[in-house]
Structure 1
Amino acid sequence: MAPTTHLGRFSPILRDCGAAAVRRPDTLLATQLPYEIFYIPFEHVNPQARLVIVGITPGMNQLELAYAEAQRLLRLGASEAAILEAVKSVAAFGGDAMRPNLLRMLRHFGFAAILGVDDEADLWGTAAGLLHSTSVVPHAAFKDGKMFSGSFEEVLRVGALRERFEADFVGSLRGLSPEALYVALGKTPFDALLHCVKLGVIEEHQLLGALAHPSRSGGSQVAVYLGEKSPDDLDPADPVRGRVAWLRDAYFRMRSATDRLRGTRGAIAPPPPRPAPSRPATVVRAPRPRGATSATPAAPAPSNADLHYVVSRGKAAGTVLRPHVQDGHYIVSPTRFEADYVRVPIGEALEPYLRQGLSLRMSAPGVAPSLISPGSILGRDRSSR
């Protein structure tokens, strides 16, 4: 079922008032106090889109930009279809900080190369036909007067929000290409897209993962997500501290998915920095002069062959697992999903991947391969952890 178009109902107020009609009673689409949902002319669906970017809900900047553009086009006598397409292009993820932050992340992962465009900014210009922008609650939702930023569970629990999610969001996905790739902006959209995978509306391989939410209200989370800022440098009261683990996992999933799409299997960039574990400071020694000898030779660096894990429970208790080799590659992954697997050539050291927090697929004769977390793997280079 395609989402319902409401522009005809609201066009008189948009034509007369434009941005001045933002959050007025006559642009209210639904209410279930303390929740209010205001109309925004974002109903355009692009069935040719190759990239679908999903937020939580449009905010004040998007409302103001959309209403102003709708007013301009209505006064010019443009058709409904032309208005909806143009408004989406101008206002979706617009604003002083949101779109620049979004572009930073898209460029970081090389989406221009994935989509075959010159620059990611072209998605809002000459390559706009490749992009579909939408939100879990596609009309502007507010709670207690503030832009809704709750969980996906809250969306399903609140009838007014769920109705817009199911009718407008899920309905729009059914009109998109089965080849489209989906990117979530934050945890709530990611959970909503996982829900859509379970419903069979999209396939698991279409969901690349999540970026940090690019809004200014998100504080420093984009910088933390991209590894530009260490969590150690955050203010103790900064709420981003509570999101670091999720941001790190989301980064790894997106990194592996985009590397795979660009054909760079095994090429994984450093993850967002994490707080260093508490340990004694490493002593840096000056290099020994040429010809000098040492009574105690340096121990050789551990190799992949040193890595092992001892099964502690079940029928295989006591069995030693070693790195599993498949088609000449080891496999590391930030998640349990096969779509996130990173293939590492057998001659390449695994320690740098374990240091980044990726789990390693390990096995033994008679024991099926499974992912083992780096903290449980023995034989590692302790000086690197």
Structure 2
Amino acid sequence: MVPTTHFGRFAPILRDSGAAAVRRPDTLLASQPPYEIFYIPFEHVNPRARLVIVGITPGMNQLEMAYAEAQRLLRLGASEAAILKSVKSIAAFGGDAMRPNLLRMLRHFGFAAILGIDAEADLWGTAAGLLHSTSVVPNATFKGGKMFSGSFEEVLKVDALREQFEADFVGSLGSLGPEALYVALGKTPFDALLHCVELGAIGEHQLLGALAHPSRSGGSQVAVYLGEKSPDDLDPADPVRGRVAWLRDAYARMRSATDRLRGPGVAVALPPPRSAPSRPTTLVKAPRLEGATSAAPAAPAPSNTDLHYVVSRGKAAGTVLRPHVQDGHYIVSPTRFEADYVRVPIGEALEPYLRKGLSLRMSAPGVAPSLISPGSILRRDRSSH
């Protein structure tokens, strides 16, 4: 799909009313009660971006800042392209708390060193050409009058949200380069990016992982994510308590990814010791196998992308299956029983598991995942190992 540009339709309203038009009926883009989607002039896509930061959806601060900047530039007679570029630079992840918290996390992981710039703040200044900011639902979405903060599963279930995601988010990814690195702000964008990996819209090596969501409404989750605050110090009623396991897993993935990209020279803090188990699952953590590399979720071994299987019978005959990604992991198993499934982080090489005789779950768009025996799995330019 090609992303839709709505600027021409809403430009007269923005020029006349600016921030006063925020969440007015005449800036409503779509409605599916209790969901409302309001236009925001964020259509600009930076094809030269090396870092893509993905949120859930723009909020009130971003709407107000974007409308005010659009009004200013429209009254100056600026071109549409110049307006959209400036609005995105100024308003994306703006606000008193969001951008400082975002910078705090980017600095923690040494993104300036990764990108070869002087400081992370330059991404909104002299190095703005390296950044693309976007959201799973790119136009400002509200549910029951409050900023939408639901799960990715909810996005896929609600037609109006799914259309935004597929047309305007996934549709924009083709304009970004294959070397762009993707960072999610929270679980919903991370799940959405995993879905994009499964679709083949981005490469698995491009997805570094997730930061905690930087908004003020997130409470202490940034401090917990960075290990600055112990979960034991949280109020018993603090909702961040329920996110601790995910935040720690996300931190570990991001730290592994950025350490690998950045190399030595920038020290980062370790997260606090794990005190809570990950969410319940029928799958088990991948065991350490002799000859296997350590888990490094953000930088997959090249051989993983070579693995494929060609369906030989039935309606799907001729379809090429690839390693199936589920919740950031591949799945291998010595048997067909789910109780024996082994989760392998997407950055870890699969070959050692295949050499041990484990089958690999593989899939393709429209073809459900199934376990493929290692003897049937092909490698690029060769048919056996």
1:332 to 290, 294, 305: 294
Q: Indicate the residue corresponding to 1:84 in structure 2.
A: 84
Moved over 6 A (4+): 334-337
Gaps of 5+ in 2: 278-286, 302-327, 330-347, 359-385
Q: Would you say 1:198 and 2:198 are equivalent positions?
A: yes
Tell me how far apart the structure 1 counterparts of residues 46 and 125 of structure 2 sit (CA, whole Å): 14
Matches within 5 A, 1:240-279: 240-264=240-264, 269-275=269-275
Q: Indicate the residue corresponding to 2:18 in structure 1.
A: 18
Aligned length: 302
C-alpha displacement at 1:33, in angstroms?
A: 0.2
Tell me how far apart the structure 1 counterparts of residues 45 and 109 of structure 2 sit (CA, whole Å): 25
Q: Check the 8 A contact 1:227/1:273 in 2, yes or no.
A: no
Q: Check the 8 A contact 1:230/1:275 in 2, yes or no.
A: no
User: 2:16 is matched by which residue type in structure 1?
Assistant: D
C-alpha displacement at 1:270, in angstroms?
A: 1.6
C-alpha displacement at 1:271, in angstroms?
A: 1.8
Q: Indicate the residue corresponding to 2:372 in structure 1.
A: none
Tell me how far apart the structure 2 counterparts of residues 333 and 232 of structure 1 sit (CA, whole Å): 28
User: 1:104 is matched by which residue type in structure 2?
Assistant: R
Tell me how far apart the structure 1 counterparts of residues 79 and 146 of structure 2 sit (CA, whole Å): 33
Q: Indicate the residue corresponding to 1:75 in structure 2.
A: 75
Q: Indicate the residue corresponding to 1:94 in structure 2.
A: 94
Matches within 5 A, 1:57-206: 57-206=57-206
Q: Check the 8 A contact 1:232/1:275 in 2, yes or no.
A: no
User: 1:15 is matched by which residue type in structure 2?
Assistant: R
Q: TM-score, normalised by structure 2?
A: 0.73
Q: Check the 8 A contact 2:208/2:297 in 1, yes or no.
A: no
Tell me how far apart the structure 2 counterparts of residues 30 and 323 of structure 1 sit (CA, whole Å): 51
Q: Check the 8 A contact 2:257/2:297 in 1, yes or no.
A: no
Q: Indicate the residue corresponding to 1:292 in structure 2.
A: none
Tell me how far apart the structure 2 counterparts of residues 272 and 72 of structure 1 sit (CA, whole Å): 47
Q: Would you say 1:8 and 2:8 are equivalent positions?
A: yes
Q: Check the 8 A contact 2:207/2:298 in 1, yes or no.
A: no
Q: TM-score, normalised by structure 1?
A: 0.73
Q: Check the 8 A contact 1:251/1:272 in 2, yes or no.
A: no
Q: Indicate the residue corresponding to 1:287 in structure 2.
A: none
Tell me how far apart the structure 2 counterparts of residues 39 and 66 of structure 1 sit (CA, whole Å): 10
Q: CA RMSD in A?
A: 2.8
Taking structure 1 as reference, are residues 141 and 72 closer, same or farther at Cα in structure 2, changes over 3 Å only? Answer: same
C-alpha displacement at 1:18, in angstroms?
A: 0.6
C-alpha displacement at 1:142, in angstroms?
A: 0.3
Matches within 5 A, 1:354-365: none
| SS at structure 2 position matched to 1:333 | coil
Q: Indicate the residue corresponding to 1:44 in structure 2.
A: 44
Give % identity.
82
Taking structure 1 as reference, are residues 139 and 272 closer, same or farther at Cα in structure 2, changes over 3 Å only? Answer: farther
Tell me how far apart the structure 2 counterparts of residues 146 and 129 of structure 1 sit (CA, whole Å): 32
User: 2:295 is matched by which residue type in structure 1?
Assistant: S
Q: Indicate the residue corresponding to 1:288 in structure 2.
A: none
Tell me how far apart the structure 2 counterparts of residues 99 and 5 of structure 1 sit (CA, whole Å): 26
